[in-house]
Amino acid sequence: MSDELLITVAPTGAETAKADCPQLPTTPEEIARTAAECEAAGAAMIHLHVRDGEHAPTLDQALLREWVAAVRESSSLVVQLSSGGSVHDPLDERLKVLDAEPDSCSLTMGTTNFGDDVFLNPWPFVKDLYQLALSRGVAPEFELFDLGQVHALGRLIREYGVPAGGKVHVDFVMGVPGGMPGTAPALVAGVAALPPEVTTWSATGIGRSTLAVAMASLSMGGHLRVGMEDVLTISRGVPVESNAQLVARAVDLGRIAQRTPMTPAGCRELLGLA
Ligand code: KMH
Ligand code: ZN
Atom of ligand 1 nearest to the CA of 10: 5
- Beta carbon of 243 within 6 Å of any ligand 1 atom: no
pLDDT in tens, 120-179: 999 999 999 999 999 999 999 999 999 999 999 999 999 999 999 999 999 999 999 999
Give the nearest ligand 1 atom to 119 CA. Answer: 3
Query: Is this structure's pTM higher than 0.95?
Result: yes
172 lines ligand 1 (CB under 6 A): no
Kindly state if the Cβ of 25 falls inside 6 Å of ligand 1.
Answer: no
Q: What is the pLDDT of residues 166-221, one digit of tens each?
A: 999 999 999 999 999 999 999 999 999 999 999 999 999 999 999 999 999 999 99
The Å distance, Cα 231 to ligand 2 centre, comes to: 12
The CA 82 to ligand 2 mean position distance, Å, reads 5
Distance, in Å, from the CA atom of 80 to the CA atom of 264, rounded to the nearest integer, reads 12
Q: Using a 6 Å cutoff on CB, does residue 119 contact ligand 1?
A: yes
